[in-house]
Amino acid sequence: MNQQTGGRIVTNLALSLDGHYAAPDNPLDMGWVMPYAVSDVARNHLTSLWETATTALLGRVNAEGFLGFWPSVIGMEGADPRDEGFAKWLVDTDKVVLSSTLDAAPWERTTIVDKPTAQVAEDLKATRNGDILVLSSASVIKALLQAGGIDRLALTVFPVLLGGGPRLFDDGLPTSKWTLVSQTAGEDGTLALVYDRID
């Protein structure tokens, strides 16, 4: 990969088969994801994303969820090595959390930023080598889609119909073209898809 001149914005999000990233009745309930997130396809997909990333970009809610859970996986008896690898990466990597309410970071190696999402992403691209990985922060990903600020779009599609809820791809997004760089299908019906923007 030619990443000598700055970073690349990579986003990752789970979607239902009908295009939603959260259930309609309780957006914070990710129970529909859990049976599939522990599959080989989903774990290998996430591993392929964080292995090339040097920075995590998160919204506040996702930061609290991720950093409240994942550190406990390190050293957990019976933990999948891929989960433990991700947990160690998340703890050890530089984290940038977008928030207008947090004054200080309760986590190590974390910077709190209260600026427009697209501006923060551009600043990170200009100053970091390696990928800047946006982990499941739908509000951040949606803002970057609207600004045309995503270089690589990674999705896991789980074989569930949620019947409603928020969508990732709202009407009115700027037009863009993408090329499929990898696709993996699991026996459970999970699809891991990675697209790079070509214009």
Q: What is the model's pTM? A: 0.92
- In DSSP terms, 112 is beta-bridged to 97
Q: What is the pLDDT along the chain (199 residues), one digit of tens a residue?
A: 333 456 899 999 999 999 999 999 888 788 999 999 999 999 999 999 999 999 999 999 989 989 999 999 999 999 999 999 999 999 999 999 999 999 888 899 999 999 999 999 999 999 998 999 999 999 999 999 999 999 999 999 999 999 999 999 999 999 999 999 999 999 999 999 999 999 8
Q: Which residues contact 54 (CB under 8 A, 6 or more apart)?
A: 7, 93, 94, 128, 129, 130, 131, 132
